[in-house]
């Protein structure tokens, strides 16, 4: 009976030890790597077995207890002794590497990042020697080292390491694996910090293509991909693409009712909007600079015959117009014209972005002379949202359709209100009718959406019951 009891206890101890080791492996991962640990460990080559495990396991158990209590200082003392013991015995296998990993984790929990980072580099050297430089088992080590390089603003080196990670992940899981897309997102960050926005865009588009195929276009993961692309496109001054991607990311997040992701993409959208608008609204006007009247008039003559050329003329002279007329009526009307010619080319998100800046400038001035221009730009903003809403409906993106239709309706209402305040004879009856028709169309579509949503909800409830 005693032997059976002892055997049972020994069995429980072994199970406890295995559990402790597994928990520690989990704890050692950073926020970026924690979701991929099991997947990577599944196919990676194993390291050499741990000899004379009893003392080692006892120390690990003690360290884990202190980590669990939050007493990182005490855990640090234990693990530093463990690592020194491993060094003295010459262990160049997972014993030393695991000790370094655990100690690095403890250092980071105490904010001792400068002490943590070198341990990751030592681990990488140990594992490269044991496994070879092209083994997928290096992925987590490489990412830890890349993070250390990012913290030191060595973006070029971090990018180089993340490229290794991407190559190893593609080798292990294939070119269409979502695991590869996750590593591409890390690479995007490194490229972004390095200032290589074109390569960041290429990596972002690849990640989006992988995730859209794996999860669908309305998944939260694809929302993050769109969010990343919005920022990179903005840095590349691709205004149409930036605002389209930002709006799509926001719609997906809201449709999935994810407050956390919605907050991230909302902040990103606000950052892009504020950064875009600030030079036009808050810059310092240069009294010595001349406003580009010639370009403004040339664009007017080209507005109908060649809107693409008209837009290019205005874009080419936009910096000069902003320098000479920041916040002025002249700049507001300049942006109204830019809004009009971009809309004529179907570049609705760019047209809306410039139009909303014009609306803010002219509304702030609030003079009778600015009202006709305000009616114009408010109408074109409404029509831009209206056209994009119709496109979203064709793509069966109902959440984006709803959002864009609501914005269209809001801007039609503002335009109609402004018509009533406009000086007599400045707004034609034909244009007033166009706006009224647009509002009725938006209201009708919003009701259609609400009815479709109600029916879908009733069908879901009926199927559940």
pLDDT score recorded for residue 188:
97
Confidence label for 92 from pLDDT (cuts 50, 70 and 90)? low
Mean pLDDT of the chain: 84
pLDDT score recorded for residue 332:
97
Q: For the segment 113-140, what is each residue's pLDDT rounded down to a tens digit?
A: 888 888 888 888 888 888 889 999 889 8
Q: For the segment 285-323, what is each residue's pLDDT rounded down to a tens digit?
A: 898 999 999 999 999 999 999 999 999 999 999 999 999
Residue 159 vs residue 450, higher pLDDT? 159
CATH fold of the domain at 367-464: Methane Monooxygenase Hydroxylase; Chain G, domain 1 (1.20.58)
pLDDT (mean) for 204-222: 95
Q: 439, 412 in Cβ contact below 8 A? A: yes
Q: Would you kindly state where each structural domain of the chain is located, as residue ranges?
A: 216-282, 367-464
Task: Check pLDDT > 50 for residue 6.
Answer: no
d(CA 18, CA 21): 5
Q: For the segment 344-374, what is each residue's pLDDT rounded down to a tens digit?
A: 999 999 999 999 999 999 999 988 889 999 9
pLDDT (mean) for 256-279: 92
pLDDT (mean) for 198-205: 98
pLDDT (mean) for 95-104: 77
- Residue 197 CB-density burial (10 A; 0-12 exposed, 13-18 middle, 19+ buried): buried
């Amino acid at each position: 009976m005693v032997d059976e009891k002892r055997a049972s206890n020994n069995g429980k101890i072994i199970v406890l030890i295995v559990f402790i080791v597994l928990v520690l492996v989990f704890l050692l991962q950073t926020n970026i790597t924690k979701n991929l640990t099991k997947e990577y460990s599944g196919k990676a080559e194993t390291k050499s077995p741990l000899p004379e495990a009893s003392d080692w396991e006892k120390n690990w158990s003690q360290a884990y207890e202190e980590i669990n209590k939050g007493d990182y200082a005490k855990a640090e003392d234990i693990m530093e002794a463990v690592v020194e013991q491993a060094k003295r015995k010459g262990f160049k296998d997972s014993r030393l590497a695991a000790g370094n990993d655990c100690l690095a984790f403890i250092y980071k929990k105490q904010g001792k990042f400068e002490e943590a980072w070198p341990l990751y580099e030592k681990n990488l050297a140990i594992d490269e020697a044991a496994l070879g430089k092209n083994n997928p088992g290096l992925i987590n080590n490489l990412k830890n080292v890349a993070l250390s390089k990012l913290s030191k603003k060595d973006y070029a080196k971090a990018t180089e390491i993340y490229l290794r990670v991407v190559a190893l992940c593609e080798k292990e899981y294939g070119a269409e694996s979502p695991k590869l897309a996750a590593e591409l997102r890390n690479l995007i960050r490194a490229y972004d910090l390095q200032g290589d926005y074109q390569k960041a865009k290429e990596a972002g588009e690849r990640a989006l293509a992988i995730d859209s195929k794996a999860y669908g276009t309305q998944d939260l993961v694809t929302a993050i991909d769109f969010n990343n692309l919005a920022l990179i496109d903005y840095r590349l001054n691709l205004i149409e693409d930036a605002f389209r991607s930002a709006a799509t990311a926001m719609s997906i997040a809201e449709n999935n009712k994810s407050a956390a992701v919605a907050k991230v993409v909302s902040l990103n959208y606000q950052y892009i909007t504020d950064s875009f608008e600030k030079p036009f609204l808050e810059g310092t006007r240069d009294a010595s600079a001349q406003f580009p009247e010639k370009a403004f008039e040339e664009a007017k003559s080209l507005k109908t015959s060649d809107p693409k050329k008209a837009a290019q003329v205005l874009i080419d002279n936009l910096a000069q117009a902003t320098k000479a007329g920041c916040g002025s009526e002249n700049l507001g009307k300049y942006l109204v014209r830019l809004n009009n010619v971009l809309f004529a080319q179907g570049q609705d998100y760019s047209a809306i972005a410039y139009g909303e800046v014009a609306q803010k400038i002219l509304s702030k001035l609030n003079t009778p002379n600015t009202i006709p221009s305000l009616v114009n730009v408010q109408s074109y903003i409404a029509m831009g949202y209206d056209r994009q809403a119709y496109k979203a409906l064709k793509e069966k993106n109902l959440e984006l359709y709803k959002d864009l239709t609501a914005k269209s309706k809001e801007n039609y209402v503002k335009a109609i209100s402004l018509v009533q305040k406009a000086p007599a004879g400045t707004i034609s009856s034909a244009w007033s009718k166009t706006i009224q028709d647009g509002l009725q169309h938006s209201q009708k579509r919003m009701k259609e959406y609400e009815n479709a949503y109600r029916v879908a909800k009733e069908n879901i409830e009926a199927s559940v019951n």
